Amino acid sequence: MIANYGYKDGSGDFFITIDTDKCDGCGACVEACPAQAFEVGEDPNDPLREDPAAFIVEAVRKKLKYACARCKPVTDRPPLPCVQACPAEAISHSW
Amino acid sequence: MAEEYWRWTESRWTDLGLSWKGGEIITAGVDVGSVSSQAVIMVDSRLYAYANTRTGSDSPNSAINVMNWALEDTDGLTLDKIQYTVGTGYGRVNVPFAQRAVTEIACHARGANFMYGPTVRTILDMGGQDCKAIHCDDKGKVTNFLMNDKCAAGTGRGMEVFADLLKVSINDMGELSLQVEEEPPPVSSTCVVFAKSEASGLLRAGWPKEKVLAAYSSAMVHRVVSLLERIGLEEDFAITGGIAKNKGVVLRLEKELGVKALEPKYDTQIAGALGAALFAKALVEKEKGKKK
């Protein structure tokens, strides 16, 4: 399942996409994110899924633009820690 | 007292051709949203009864109120005879009689699969305070989803604001928006707050209500389409939620997408609660399977 967490408002679209088919719940993203935006546990959108999956913490979902700001400077943007940390390449950002 | 234009019609229904007394698995789903609440009762795999109400200011009691209304006219069915209840929606933690809470995305997909059939692949839920675009498989399992609950543009709340501004009952807005000879340009602001100001300006400039409604409906459709485009549109396509009852938005949406939405046979607002009742049934069966 492609889970898009985030929002769209007047300033743009801000979504972090997690491909739960690729995710095995390893938790590397949880460790890597400096804003503690990730968590691993029961998949909130797939109640019948047995294995744990990564998801964006509910409290952060509507503030993604700001939560992710520190990893997204205007110039000289280094690779995103969460995207790099994931061994399954399950994470992507829409901005 | 001023008339309240935003008051949309509540409803309840029982399948009088069914009897719950022969049923093996009786489950319920309760969807407590910020604007509306629904309760759905299923007997085995059949939809037995439902109720759809405005959540209003009594949100903590919304679940029990809508459940009680659904139980009326059910030939003596009471809450204690329901084996499993699943709560969903924004207020799912406020369903004290539910055994479990399941998030609304999963419930909507399941519910739409039941309501529209196994051919539905893309669901657009336009709710009271959020918009969801969901892809599912033939069993109603979610394969892709995107929800926007940060912005009121494209939601029922936006419509309520306009109902009040134009002094048109929300039930009539769809039909009225279609009574224009030529489609006006959409309102330029995506934000409901600014769209309202813009609409006030148009009214002052002499635009009739129908034209303003048409312009706003267009803007709402553009907004929602851009959300849907993010995950793509795969047919068959279905619309759930309160705004699915607004013909003006639905027709403009179909035109913009170039795809016709499936015809609803049930109240489009019950999708979440229906999916929850289906999950309840699956969970009962799972428990029974474990005991064997």
CATH number of the domain to which A53 belongs: 3.30.70.20
Measured at the CA of A86, the angle between CA A82 and CA A89, to 5 degrees, comes to 110
- B20 within some domain: yes
* Cβ-based contacts of B148 with chain A (< 8 Å): 7-8
Question: Do residues B40 and B130 share a domain?
Answer: no
A27 within 8 A of A54, measured Cβ to Cβ: yes
B9 within 8 A of B2, measured Cβ to Cβ: no
Give me the total of CB pairs closer than 8 Å, taking one residue from chain A and one from chain B: 52
Q: What is the pLDDT of residue B169?
A: 92
* Cβ-based contacts of B145 with chain A (< 8 Å): 1-4, 45
Number of domains in chain B: 2
* Cβ-based contacts of B279 with chain A (< 8 Å): 47
Gap between the Cα atoms of B62 and B64, Å rounded: 6
Q: What is the pLDDT of residue B1?
A: 42
| Beta carbons within 8 Å of A53's beta carbon, 6+ residues apart | A18, A20, A23, A25, A40, A41, A42, A43, A46
Name the residue range of residue B207's domain.
120-261
Question: Do residues B153 and B209 share a domain?
Answer: yes
- Using the beta-carbon criterion (under 8 Å), do B142 and A15 form an inter-chain contact? no
Name the residue range of residue A44's domain.
2-93
- C-beta atoms surrounding A11 within 10 Å: 7
Gap between the Cα atoms of B204 and B200, Å rounded: 6
- Using the beta-carbon criterion (under 8 Å), do B282 and A48 form an inter-chain contact? yes
Q: What is the pLDDT of residue B289?
A: 75
Number of domains in chain A: 1
Give pLDDT tens digits for A14-37: 999 999 999 999 999 999 999 999
Gap between the Cα atoms of A59 and B254, Å rounded: 35
CATH number, residue B16 = 3.30.420.40
Predicted complex ipTM: 0.89
Q: What is the pLDDT of residue A14?
A: 95
Whether chain A has a CB inside 8 Å of the CB on B146: the answer is: yes
Give pLDDT tens digits for B133-191: 999 999 999 999 999 988 888 899 989 999 999 999 999 999 999 999 999 999 988 78
Q: What is the pLDDT of residue B288?
A: 81
Give pLDDT tens digits for A35-79: 999 999 999 888 888 899 999 999 999 999 999 999 999 888 899
Low-confidence residues of chain B: pLDDT under 50: 1, 292
Measured at the CA of B97, the angle between CA B94 and CA B98, to 5 degrees, comes to 80
- Compute and round to an integer the Cα radius of gyration of chain B: 19
Q: What is the pTM of this model?
A: 0.91
